[in-house]
Structure 1
Amino acid sequence: MSKRFDRYTSLVFLIIGAAFVIESNGISQSAYGSNVGPDIFPKILGVLLILLSLRLFYETFQYAKNQEKREKLDYQRFLIIFIAAILYAFLLESLGYVITTFLFLIVGFQAMERGSWTKTLLISAAFSFGVYYLFVEVLNGSLPGFPTWFS
């Protein structure tokens, strides 16, 4: 990637992150039956996006002068993860958070690095159940857990 492209990209993501933080203030701060309001995750996502974009901008000054080699773009991996993300959003309500996130992570990990199925399954399961437990049980939030036909 080029230094100029990375700088402009970091500025675009900085603006998007700031928009997330600003617009999340318009979301109600509490939800029925939840101590964690729907405004928390967009704010956290916006702050993370801002921090990562600032880091990318800073790192562009550390690039070596001769590091202008072009990398081949991997459209196949991009399309696999893009389609998986669309299916994830589409199936979240009907299949629930745990199953949908588990399947999405499996597809994503295998698209990025084929093989090591044991590691992929363990990390996907631990993340899916861990985030669900943390959000629903510890923070008293609400997520679609499992579909009704599953229980």
Structure 2
Amino acid sequence: MNTSFDRYAGIAFFAIGIAFVIGSLGISTSAYGSNVGANIFPMVLGLFLSLMSVRLIYETFRKQRAEKRAENLDYKRFGIIFIAAVLYAYFLEDIGFVISTFLFLMIGFQTMQKGRVWVSLLIAGGFSYGVYYLYVNVLDGSLPGFPTWLGGA
């Protein structure tokens, strides 16, 4: 852990989170066919990002390193997850929320810790369908469903 990098990253992400919250205030509070407005999701994400950034900044000030050691940055894992995130955003409308989120989580889990495929399958499947069900059926929101070639609408 490079504390100075983490501190600056925390400050930058805090500013991005606040920008998300401020930007979401300008978005419509209601959407056609949805009781949850389009502004809720970016506002919640911005608040979450800001809170996590405050936590990161706090941790960097709390940590006192007696010795500095060289860090090995893992560019391969970063690249895999970055490419998976870009592909997730690109294919979200085409293959639907549940499938794209499931695939993204599986790639992320297996990149971070190889093995335990069944546990990854259960967590990724449960999370992706659970979030979809909660948002669409409980909160009356709208997310891209399953693709039409799988019988979705």
TM-score by length of 1: 0.96
**Which position in structure 1 is the counterpart of 2:118?**
118
Q: 1-side partners of 2:47 and 2:8: how far apart?
A: 18
Q: 2-side partners of 1:19 and 1:55: how far apart?
A: 18
Aligned counterparts, 1:1-151, within 5 A: 1-151=1-151
Gaps of 5+ in 1: none
Please state whether the residue corresponding to 2:108 is helix, strand or coil.
helix
Q: 1-side partners of 2:21 and 2:150: how far apart?
A: 36
Query: Offset at 1:9?
Result: 1.4
Query: Offset at 1:58?
Result: 1.1
Please state whether the residue corresponding to 2:16 is helix, strand or coil.
helix
Q: In structure 2, what residue type is equivalent to 1:148?
A: T
Q: 1-side partners of 2:60 and 2:88: how far apart?
A: 33
Deviations 1:1-57 (A, max 9, x none): 332222211111111111000011111111000010110011111111111111111
After superposing on structure 2, the runs of 4+ consecutive aligned residues of structure 1 that deviate more than 3 Å are none
Give % identity.
Answer: 60
Give me the CA root mean square deviation.
1.1
Q: 1-side partners of 2:66 and 2:99: how far apart?
A: 46
Gaps of 5+ in 2: none
Structure 1, 13-22 or 60-69: larger mean CA deviation:
60-69
Q: 2-side partners of 1:68 and 1:58: how far apart?
A: 19
Q: In structure 2, what residue type is equivalent to 1:33?
A: G
